[in-house]
Amino acid sequence: MCLSEGTTCATPVAAPDARRLASLRPGSLREVYDLFAGQPPLTLRAAARRLGMSAPSVYRAKRRLEREGLLSAPGPVQVASR
What's the chain's average pLDDT? 75
* 4 domain-assigned: no
Whether residue 43 is contained in a domain is answered as: yes
Report the run of H or E that residue 71 belongs to, with start and end: strand 71-72
Number of domains in the chain: 1
Domain assignment of residue 77, yes or no = no
Cα separation, 78 vs 54, in Å, equals: 25
pLDDT at residue 66 above 70? yes
pLDDT of residue 53: 93
81 within a domain of the structure (yes/no): no
Answer yes or no: is 79 within a domain.
no
Q: Which domain holds residue 29?
A: 18-72
**This prediction's pTM:** 0.64
Average pLDDT over residues 1-6: 48
Q: What is the mean pLDDT of residues 59-81?
A: 77
> Which of 66, 73, 7, 59 shows the shortest CA–CA distance to 28?
59
Mean pLDDT value of segment 59-71? 89
Domain holding 65: CATH number?
1.10.10
